[in-house]
Chains A and B, each alone.
Chain A
Amino acid sequence: MSDLTTLTIAELRDGYARGAFSAREVADAYLAAIAASRGLNAFIHETPEAARAMAAQSDQRLAEGAARPLEGIPLGIKDLFCTEGIHSQAASHILDGFAPPYESTVTAKLWDDGAVMLGKLNMDEFAMGSSNESSYYGPVTNPWRRNGDETPLVPGGSSGGSAAAVAARLCAGATATDTGGSIRQPAAFTGTVGVKPTYGRCSRWGIVAFASSLDQAGPLARDVRDAAILMRSMAGHDPKDTTSVDQPVPDYEPALDQSVKGLRVGVPREYRVDGMPAEVERLWEDGVNWFRDAGAEIVDVSLPHTKYALPAYYIVAPAEASSNLARYDGVRYGLRVEGDDLIDMYEKTRAAGFGREVKRRVLIGTYVLSAGYYDAYYLKAQKVRTLIKQDFEHAFDKVDILLTPTTPNAAFGIGEVSGDPVQMYINDIFTVPANMAGLPGISVPAGLDAAGLPLGLQVIAKPFDEAALFRGGMVIERAAGRFAPTDWWS
């Protein structure tokens, strides 16, 4: 029944309604696909028993005619989300053995809506990375390969496991998180759709914190409609997260059929960076034309502080991370490496428990907050952040959405960029500004490069106007079609 795994969430929903198959059959098909695809290293913890039990419950609800919005939809969960009694380790050695006595708000909402849990997905350690190579569990392999080339490629990061699993049809959809591009960049690298909601749209409660002022949960899905369906279940106010916003969550599906006639689409000139591959530029032009053909009005806009978003991000995010990761000290959970005294225990535990990239960021964050440097780095970066947000506000006076490439390049080979941290950071150049300003963004596959690898276009909207993301995303999807890798891995 492996063809069940090719169905979208919307198609599964229809099939269940028709009684074409059972949730148990769908769950089993996915469990089989996961078992056959361990080489991709997308799942780091499988939960077949939970999946079957939840699917059985879904079948009962379906039989009773009491189906919930995600009844019987099998999902993969990024390891950053705490799941009660189940491996939740942020793909880090320091959280060895951690099984929380609580369930994150976002995953709890998904289960309440009838979704079925398949397991926990690989990711960059503590969501720090753009290639999924910093995971304690090893890198994830992108199901996409260059034409006629077996070089293993990265799926992007940090939600690399989520993106690879969705692209390889190992789950119908996945949860992910985006601090600087960790949903949209892997979506672009794997030909999937990824949504980073407005900051405050989804509760952060129960999601291991990386950079609190930037982290947002969102869905990774096979198409725009599936992303819209998942988004509705994940979003919503949570009294346990005071930064979550008390605003109604609309049904996003009607927006998918809305015309973009008269919609003003901004094209920010500062995103035309030096050294951008011609095919990325061409794809962006294609995107502009698709919107124009669909009746939208194209407006040239300026976001003058764009180039400073990335360096400001690499001050703010590590600073917050250095503090957020102080709790991993070998006292209450996770790894402990014994030492001669308390401080020795701390230092040995954290030296052994954190990987290279995490250490780098914790140290950078510690440095920029330390006495004498706070004003020059952290305070300055937060002021630059204000300017970045103002840039967007000015642009949104003139336009409804912005259209940009998601990434400056397609997926690269595992190990290719790992030597130079700054080179790796450049991957997030187009995604970071939306995080810095708290804005929602979507990446939608828009075409393949010369080597046959997917590339994505990004739509950025005003705060809490996720509906505009889906409306704009549909323009790209209708014009570009959908992209799926050929199965070589199972």
Chain B
Amino acid sequence: MNKAVREAASQKLVEGATGRWEIVVGMEVHAQVTSQAKLFSGASTRFGADPNTNVSLVDAAMPGMLPVINEFCIAQAVRTGLGLQAKINLRSVFDRKNYFYPDLPQGYQISQYSDPLVGEGVVQLDMPDGERVEVGIERIHVEQDAGKSLHDQHPAKTYVDLNRTGVALMEIVSRPDLRSADEARAYLTKLRTILRYLGTCDGNMEEGSLRADINVSVRRPGEPLGTRCEVKNVNSIRFIGQAIEHEARRQIDLIEDGGTVEQETRLFDPRTGATRSMRSKEEAHDYRYFPDPDLLPLELEQSWVDAIAADLPELPDDKKARLIAEYGLSAYDAGILVADWETADFFEKVAAGRDGKAAANWVINDLLGALNRDGRDITDSPLSPDQLGAIIELIGEEVISGKIAKELFEIVWTEGGDPRDIVEARGLKQVTDTGAIEAAVDEVISANPDKAEQAKAKPNLAGWFVGQVMKATGGKANPQAVNALVKKKLGVE
């Protein structure tokens, strides 16, 4: 496998006591499919409902209940596969994965084992240093989520809520193509972006819509792959780096001390930043997979898949290339704008018929900055694309200065309103006719000769004259121009 032996550039290697090591990472990402109802039942997928309210008789595994597959969930997984340029298998099979756990009412999870819905695909990563990394997707299969066990409600009891039981998940399995914590973070970020573009997963890691299990191993450069450990419970992109670095370091230390890495599942603890063995739970896992006799093989028509393909949105890589070509943006700026399709969409509305570079600057620096400052999402921006567009137009038309524009941005941000009206109403329009300004300055000075005299000794008085001129011009004069003229006429610096 050519891709599997990809060698990391030397700067990505990590130093050990006995030499340099390469980190090898693959990921299994569980993405909750965006849908109204569950994969095999008619219960709602809504997050945050009261315990056991989004539960059907099927989800509770009542005797004699049978699964009926939700066609939309399958379409969503196919859409995801197409978005990752993957092969769609027209025939796939649902298997039962058998194990006992209180939040798994059937005693088995309906999943796909030997014949998944989606085969090999690829995700492209553009690293900040300009390197392009291709991450192979091995497969995507569709399966049921488990319920939720609450262990901290009672000293001797576990509470079980089945609301999440049976919600559709896509398990997206990558090849071990990642060579650093940065790449792993970039991969999950990119995957999340693509899923959100496709509308197949909301990518909400806090609510558990996106969860990653990380397979980590280490090797000396050029050697075959080492034994991997699976790190579970990494529920934010921030923790991924921490988990990988800690786990890689643990393995390097272990090998350098003469030990060997054992294949096992480890749990990441966000409080300590460390991973620990879950061997207590490992106990003879033997899932006894077999085809679910309640479900026939899933057979799809090529035409049905083609219709989904025809309906795919523009994806981030294509959008980025287009923004660069169409608006003359830098790769860096385009990369920021396409990280969220909502941001890219906002940008394109602002840029329509206007200066694209200016639009990009305003969106990236001012809008994203203000959103970040106020902890808001772009979908809930107080400023609409039209409002921001109007501000940019006002600058372009030289109606307002860049400085006034920033003030105007803040006014619209907090108070709303049409930027053009605000410019009018508040006299923000710059008076560019210097003759008119000069006349007003002369008039104020000649009306206040004593003050003009005092100003020669107290230059601060110039401010008073500026104020009078602004008042006389109804606030329309460009304040900088007034200031310069006042000082010049008073002979102060």
Contacts and interface: CB of A to CB of B under 8 A. Distances in A.
A206 interface: yes
Interface stretch (B293-301, B310-318, B433-441, B470-478): B293-301
A242 B66 contact: yes
A320 interface: yes
Interface in B404-421: none
A100 B65 CA distance: 11
Contacts of B60: 332
A204 B96 contact: no
Contacts of A323: 96, 98, 107-108, 288, 290
A175 B185 CA distance: 59
Contact of B296 (A90, A211, A242, A322): A242
Interface in B50-73: 57, 60-69
B13 interface: no
B461 interface: no
A353 to B, nearest CB: 13
Contacts of B293: 211-213, 320
Interface in B423-476: none
Contacts of B67: 242
Contact of A209 (B64, B158, B288, B290): B64
B66 A240 contact: yes
Interface string B98-120: 10101001111000000000000
Interface in A204-252: 204-209, 211-213, 239-243
Interface in A300-322: 319-320, 322
Given A346-B100, A366-B288, A331 B105 contact: yes
Nearest to B58: A240
B63 A204 contact: no
A326 interface: yes
Given A320-B293, A370-B288, A207 B64 contact: yes
Given A323-B288, A326-B98, A327-B106, A102 B294 contact: no
A41 to B, nearest CB: 23
Contacts of B160: 331
Nearest to A212: B293
Size class of the contact patch on chain A: 35 or more
A282 to B, nearest CB: 39
Contact of B62 (A102, A204, A343): A102
Contacts of B262: none
Nearest to A347: B100
Query: Chain A CB within 10 Å — which of B65, B69, B160, B288 has the most?
Result: B288
Nearest to A95: B63
A111 interface: no
B397 interface: no
A61 to B, nearest CB: 29
A322 B293 CA distance: 13
Interface of chain A, helix or strand or loop or mixed?
loop
A324 B295 CA distance: 13
Given A319-B290, A326-B98, A332 B105 contact: yes
A290 interface: no
Given A326-B100, A378-B290, A206 B64 contact: yes
B131 interface: no
Contacts of B62: 82, 100-102, 332-333
B286 interface: yes
A100 B63 contact: yes
B57 to A, nearest CB: 6
A123 to B, nearest CB: 14
A352 interface: no
Interface residues of B, number: 29
A90 B63 contact: yes
B288 A369 contact: yes
Nearest to B61: A327
Contacts of B107: 323, 325-327, 329
A371 interface: yes
B106 A326 contact: yes
A101 B62 CA distance: 9
A212 B293 CA distance: 6
Contacts of B66: 204-205, 240-243
A342 B62 CA distance: 20
A242 B70 CA distance: 12
Nearest to A341: B156
Nearest to A325: B107
A158 interface: no
A333 B289 CA distance: 25
A101 B60 CA distance: 12
A241 B63 CA distance: 14
A342 B101 CA distance: 9
A137 interface: no
A396 interface: no
Contacts of B158: 342
Interface in B71-110: 96, 98, 100, 102, 105-108
A474 to B, nearest CB: 33
Interface in B282-328: 286, 288-290, 293-296
Nearest to A102: B57
A209 B63 contact: yes
A343 B280 CA distance: 13
Nearest to A343: B100
A464 interface: no
Contacts of B108: 323, 326
A331 B63 contact: no
A67 B396 CA distance: 84
A98 interface: yes
B294 A243 contact: yes
A205 B65 contact: yes
A488 B439 CA distance: 129
Contacts of A82: 62-64
Contacts of B57: 101-102
A88 interface: yes
Nearest to A378: B290
A105 to B, nearest CB: 9
Contacts of B288: 322-323, 366, 369-371, 374
B280 to A, nearest CB: 11
A338 to B, nearest CB: 11
Interface string B128-141: 00000000000000
Interface string A187-205: 0000000000000000011
B69 A242 contact: yes
A366 to B, nearest CB: 7
Query: Chain A CB within 10 Å — which of B61, B160, B290 has the most?
Result: B290
A57 interface: no
Contacts of A47: none
Contacts of B106: 326-327
Interface of A: 81-82, 88, 90, 95, 98, 100-102, 104, 204-209, 211-213, 239-243, 319-320, 322-323, 325-327, 329, 331-333, 342-343, 346, 366, 369-371, 374, 378
Given A242-B294, A370-B286, 19 more contacts: A100-B63, A205-B66, A206-B64, A209-B64, A211-B293, A240-B66, A243-B296, A322-B98, A329-B100, A329-B107, A331-B102, A331-B105, A332-B61, A333-B63, A343-B100, A369-B288, A371-B288, A374-B290, A378-B290
12 contacts: A100-B64, A239-B68, A241-B66, A242-B66, A242-B295, A243-B296, A323-B290, A325-B107, A331-B160, A332-B105, A342-B102, A370-B286
**Which 8 residue pairs spanning A and B have beta carbons closest together?**
A326-B107, A369-B288, A212-B293, A213-B293, A327-B61, A206-B64, A208-B63, A371-B286
